[in-house]
Structure 1
Amino acid sequence: MTRASHPDHGKGERPCRLEGLTVVITRPAGTGTSLAKKVRVLGGTPLLLPGLSLRGAADPRHARTQWLASQRDDVLIFTSPAAVRFALALAPLAKTHGTVVAVGQGTARALQRHGIAAQVPASRQDSEGVLGLPPLQQPEGKRVALIGAPGGRGLMQQQLMERSAALREVHVYRRAASRLTTRHQEAVQQLPAAACVLLSSVEALQNLQAQLSPPAWAHLCRATAVVSSERIEEAARAAGFVRIHRAASANRADLLAGACTLYSRASHEAGVPDC
C-alpha cells in the first residue's frame, strides 16, 4: 500500500494538500471539530457526519466505584480520549504506582493534559499494538484495568484473559447512534464523487447505513472510503463502498495522510503539476 505524506511533514517532504477535496468526518458528535479545522488548513472542505454519540455511563455511581477501584491496579489501559474525559469527570486519577497505557497518541495527549504520562505503542495504535507493549506481553497475575465503553472488537479482553491477567473492565461511557438531520441527508446527496469518507469504527459505519436514506447511502458509497484497519475495510466493502484506501491507523494524522494520498493521486491523473 502506498503511504501518504504525513500532514505534519518533515523537512524536505512534499506538503500534504487537500485543495477542493470534500472530506467526510464520521467521528462521534462533538469530537470532529479539530479534525475539520485541519482539513480546512490543508485546503479541503470538511463535512461532519457523526456516526456515533458519546454519553456518560448508564449507572454513574457504579462506574465511579469501578474507576476508583481500578486506580489500585497494576496496569490502566485507556482506550480513547473519550475514556480519559469521562473517567476523570467521574473522579480524578489519584497517585498510582501502576503503569498507564494509551491506545494511541490522541489518548496519550488527553492524559498529558492532566499531567499523566502514558506508554503508547510505537508501531500500530490499536489493540494489537497495545498487546505488544512490555507490561502486557506477560501479564500473568497482574491486575489490568481496561477503561472505555462496552462493545468493540473484544480482542484485547480475549488476549489479556488468555495471558492470565486479572482483567477489570471499567465502562466510564457508552456509545450510541447519533441523530442525523435532514441537513445531513441533503449534504450527503450533494457530495461530489471525488469526496472521501474517513472511517475508523465499524459501529459508526453501521449506524450511518441505518440512518441515511437508501439514496443518500448509495451516494455516500460513491466516495472513497479511507479506513483505519483491515476489519473496517471489509465492513466498508460489504456495506457498498467500492473505492477503499487503508490508512496506517485510526490516528488523525494517518487518516488525513490517506486523504492526501487520494488528492495527490487524483491531481496526478488530472495532469495537475505538484506545487
Structure 2
Amino acid sequence: MTPLVVRPEPQSESLCRQLAAAGHQPVTCPLLDFAAGRDISRLGPKLALCGPRDYVIAVSVQAVTFADNALKSQNRPWPDTHYIAVGEATAQAFASIGIRRVSVPDDPRSEGIIALPELQQPAGRQVIILRGDGGRDLIAPTLEAWGARVRYCEVYRRQYRPDPDGGLVKGWQRQGVDSIIVTSGGLLNHLFQLAATRAKDWLLSRLLIVPSERVAQAAKTLGFTLVINAEGASNQALLKALDERKRNDK
C-alpha cells in the first residue's frame, strides 16, 4: 500500500522506515511542528512547588521533551513527585531523561488518566499538567471537582504546515496515496481543511488509520467511510492496522 504519513518528525521518519521494511511504499509529509509554549519560562518555579504527594501529568512526548529542555536551560531539576504519562510513548520519554517511576493508564486518553487509582483521592494535592496549546479540557475540571489544585503549563505550541496553492494535495494524488495515517484529532482536522476545497471526494475515499475511537468518530463525522482504529499511536499499532487491511484486500 501507499500510505501518507503526516505525523511530525522524528516520529514520521521512524514510522516510514518500518512501513517500508514491511513492504509498503510510504509517502512522508509532516504537517505539524512544535515550538516553545507561552508558559515555558514559568515552568521551573511551578514545578519547584511540587512535593512527594503531588502529581505532574504529561500529555505527550513533546510535553516531556520541551519541559526537560527548559529545566536544563534554567538549571533546575525535576521535582521528587508522582509522574503520570498519558501513554507508553510518553512514559518512555520520561524514562529517557531518568524518570522511570511513571504511572501509565491502560486507556491512553484523558479518561484513562482520571481513572488511575492513585488519582481517585486527590483532595489537597497539587497537579501540574504539562501540555501544548489547546487540546481537551477534561482532566483539570474533574480533578478540581475532587478537591485537587490543578494548574496547566503550556510548554509547547503546535505549528501546522500550510498549503496555500494546493501543491501538497496534488503531490499526494500524483504519488498514488491510497491510505492515510493520522495520529491526532488536530492533524485530522488540518488535513481535512487542506484538501476539502480542492480534493474532498478524493480525500474522503482514502483508507484512514487513526489511533483511537474518539478520532475515528471525528473522521466519520467529516465524511470518511473507510476508517480503522489502530487502538494506539505507536508504530507497531499503526503498522499492524495497515497490514491487516492489506491482507484482507488480497
TM-score (norm 2): 0.86
Return the match for 2:169 from 176, 181, 185.
185
Cα deviation for residue 222 of structure 1 reads 1.4
> In structure 2, the residue corresponding to 1:66 is in which secondary structure?
helix
Cα deviation for residue 29 of structure 1 reads 5.0
What is the match of residue 64 of structure 2?
84
Cα deviation for residue 186 of structure 1 reads 2.4
Gaps of 5+ in 1: 1-20, 268-275
What is the match of residue 193 of structure 2?
210
Deviation per residue, 1:100-154 (Å, 9 max, x gap): 1111111111111111114343522222222222221221221111111121121
What is the match of residue 5 of structure 2?
25
What is the match of residue 16 of structure 1?
none
Q: Closer, same or farther in 2 for the Cα pair 1:64/1:218, shift >3 Å?
A: farther
Letter in 1 for 2:225: V
What is the match of residue 12 of structure 1?
none
What is the match of residue 113 of structure 1?
96
> In structure 1, the residue corresponding to 2:225 is in which secondary structure?
coil
Gaps of 5+ in 2: none
Asked if 1:101 corresponds to 2:95, the answer is no
> In structure 1, the residue corresponding to 2:80 is in which secondary structure?
coil
Cα deviation for residue 199 of structure 1 reads 2.1
Q: What value does the CA root-mean-square deviation take over the aligned residues?
A: 2.5
Letter in 2 for 1:23: P
Cα deviation for residue 74 of structure 1 reads 1.0
**Residues matched between the structures, number:** 246
What is the match of residue 140 of structure 2?
157
What is the match of residue 47 of structure 1?
27
Paired residues of 2:91 and 2:104 also in contact (CA < 8 A)? no
Q: What is the CA–CA distance in structure 2 between the aligned matches of 1:191 and 1:118, rounded to whole Å?
A: 45
Letter in 2 for 1:113: S
What is the match of residue 259 of structure 1?
242
Q: What is the CA–CA distance in structure 1 between the aligned matches of 2:30 and 2:62, rounded to whole Å?
A: 15
Cα deviation for residue 60 of structure 1 reads 4.0
Q: Closer, same or farther in 2 for the Cα pair 1:235/1:122, shift >3 Å?
A: closer
What is the match of residue 123 of structure 2?
140
Paired residues of 2:52 and 2:82 also in contact (CA < 8 A)? no
Q: Closer, same or farther in 2 for the Cα pair 1:39/1:238, shift >3 Å?
A: same
Letter in 2 for 1:25: V
Instruction: Name the structure where helix makes up a greater proportion of residues.
Output: 2
Paired residues of 1:144 and 1:167 also in contact (CA < 8 A)? yes
TM-score (norm 1): 0.79
Asked if 1:198 corresponds to 2:181, the answer is yes
Cα deviation for residue 230 of structure 1 reads 2.4
Q: What is the CA–CA distance in structure 2 between the aligned matches of 1:84 and 1:244, rounded to whole Å?
A: 30
Asked if 1:249 corresponds to 2:232, the answer is yes
Asked if 1:224 corresponds to 2:204, the answer is no
Cα deviation for residue 76 of structure 1 reads 0.8
Return the match for 1:57 from 37, 48, 51.
37
Asked if 1:126 corresponds to 2:109, the answer is yes
